[in-house]
Chain A
């Protein structure tokens, strides 16, 4: 025993194996909510509850839970109670696909919601199409999901990257100038958002001074910022999201770069602004939904309901994504009086959301042809401190309807193939 104790030297392979295992740093935490009734309708939700997108994913789940509570209070779907089954994709494509399969094959869910990560959302869409399950992509933005890889059973609540770019490019160009330098996350979402922005920029007559592709989960952006600054652009466009956005903006401000170059971007989220120190809440952006909309029906109640379950904090766009995704299933199934995926998908084409679900001023509907929700863009500027509410960190200047930001169906590359 004693000799063994002293001779138990690790070998290099052990260390390397362990190091490789660190790359697969994931944890699973499935749980079931609101199991009631004998044959409940099941909604499955796959989202990255751990990893860099844990905060937005958690909020999407919270929104979906609120929707399920409201659906059940109103009599459920076809008189049956609704269960929400949540699985953690751990921000990993393989895990996400495996969890979606588990939900469909073992748990027999009727609907699937997810994922925040575009790459995972696209991969899950393959599975749901194969299994003929109605699927709403709640928070993955890459174009192809409702573009060239669109599917008859897949609908999307959040904006496409094209819509995001189109909504704010003009404002950025007119306000900040024509030489843009990009900090782009190096995966599906970042690439398509970058393409959309640069297409807009070219149309407007501007130039790209460079594009820094940063790995997802980058903690230190200094090397990229040094390069971006050296290119001397008018504006630095940050396309990174989640904790990457927080780290990047924070370093930009620490380095005083915001005093030398304008800093702005396309998609910004309340989760990120809340995690930033006040001095780093800067720039013009687009929000996909905002909690402060005086006079818009249903918003106040939604905000109050989320506050009750969110430590008193207001809902973010992510809460709304989860909520709207789950509500959509209930609305369309109750309208059509069926859970048949093909019938429901057909009915969802040009399906308009009612006031208490859309929670915004403009008309909101799932467009026939590409299944993209025509949802508004909230253009405005980050505020260092909220005036009346500490969480009012964004000033909305304009709410642009989805019809105006989305390219025509013919330009999306989507051709829906229905099952025979």
Chain B
């Protein structure tokens, strides 16, 4: 009985973790290349979700899933161009404060446009079924979510590994100065990289909307675990972020079996322990942090 319960919660933790990973990867991309700690990432998730909500009556769930993330990325691109680009040369605290403020503005703006009341977001009925009575927590939609996350991660890694853009992003992460010296347009590189990150936030938003419904504050609750995933996994390492997300998902799920009230706190404890034992995070490269 106990084993089954544990097994269930580990599986469940992996599902939740997969979602954190999607969000954390976007954050991580932006952090690694541009040194911008994007506190507005949760805000972009909300934008993605609400765009999908606004589009769904016309284009259906699938149309919204396809359209909302690129539209969010375009908004992200504009924000990067107008607000964030002027701060690249400055201390990272500037962009941190900017995105922190931006997060408030997005939350209140959403509340202003759509109201403080939550909104339901319908998913196709065939996805809304659980696998079986026992494995009730694995619904079609959650499996679908994991599949989307896996595909998105695979595409992202292919992009980074094999495309010119991806190779430049990775090179820039390690040594942006040399990349610039080689004649690569660093501004454009940062913009595109930011857009890819925000695309992932938008995608997370649509997926979260189907799972949780919509609420102006939904981004805040989902952002924190994603930050922790990055710190646990190690800054500068995308595979680390992947591992970090899954790890905190499982840790939180397993804790819920024994001590439910601590299932939120446990991810912070995990972060503290990992930082003490290995300050660079699980897969972080030495020297990424000063």
Contact = CB atoms under 8 A, between A and B. Distances in A.
**A-B complex is real:** yes
Interface of A: 1-6, 8-12, 14-16, 18-19, 21-23, 25, 27, 29, 49-52, 54-55, 57-58, 186, 212-215, 217-220, 222-227, 229-230, 243, 246-247, 250-251, 254-257, 260, 271-272, 274-277, 311
B155 interface: no
Interface residues of B, number: 74
**Residue in A5, A51, A213, A271 whose Cβ sees the most chain B Cβ within 10 Å:** A5
B177 A14 contact: no
A215 B261 contact: yes
B244 interface: no
Nearest to A26: B104
B116 A55 contact: yes
A254 B123 CA distance: 10
B117 A229 contact: no
A296 B1 CA distance: 54
Given A223-B263, A277-B122, A19 B35 contact: no
A243 B139 contact: no
B144 to A, nearest CB: 12
B91 A214 contact: no
Contacts of A218: 221, 264
A58 B263 CA distance: 30
Given A14-B93, A276-B120, A223 B107 contact: no
Contacts of A18: 37, 39, 96, 100
Interface in B227-281: 227-228, 231, 235, 252-253, 256-257, 260-261, 263-264, 275, 279
A250 B130 contact: no
Contacts of A186: 261
Contacts of B222: 219
Given A215-B261, A250-B213, A276-B120, A256 B130 contact: yes
Contacts of A5: 88-89
A260 B133 contact: yes
Interface string B85-118: 0001111110010001001100110010001111
B89 A22 contact: no
Contacts of A29: 108
Contacts of A22: 39, 100, 220, 223-224, 227
Nearest to A3: B177
B235 A15 contact: yes
Chain A interface SS verdict (over half): helix
A230 B5 CA distance: 7
B217 A52 contact: yes
A250 B92 CA distance: 40
17 contacts: A8-B89, A8-B92, A12-B231, A12-B235, A12-B289, A19-B227, A19-B228, A25-B220, A27-B104, A50-B107, A215-B261, A218-B221, A223-B13, A223-B253, A227-B260, A255-B139, A274-B118
B216 interface: yes
A9 B289 contact: yes
Contacts of B176: 6
A251 B100 CA distance: 30
Nearest to B284: A12
A24 to B, nearest CB: 10
B92 A55 contact: no
Interface string B121-135: 010000011100100
B12 A226 contact: yes
Contacts of A54: 111, 116, 216-217
A8 B221 CA distance: 29
Nearest to B92: A10
Contacts of B5: 226-227, 230
Given A14-B93, A213-B260, A277-B122, A254 B177 contact: no
A25 B103 contact: yes
Nearest to B218: A219
Contact of A255 (B96, B117, B130, B260): B130
A358 to B, nearest CB: 26
B212 interface: yes
A23 B268 CA distance: 12
B50 interface: no
Given A225-B136, A230-B5, 14 more contacts: A5-B88, A8-B92, A10-B96, A22-B39, A22-B223, A23-B224, A27-B107, A213-B260, A220-B211, A226-B8, A227-B256, A227-B257, A243-B215, A275-B117
Contacts of B212: 219-220, 246-247, 250
A274 B116 CA distance: 12
B9 A14 contact: no
Contacts of A15: 37, 227, 231, 235
A274 B119 CA distance: 8
B256 A223 contact: yes
Nearest to A25: B220
A276 B117 CA distance: 11
B204 to A, nearest CB: 12
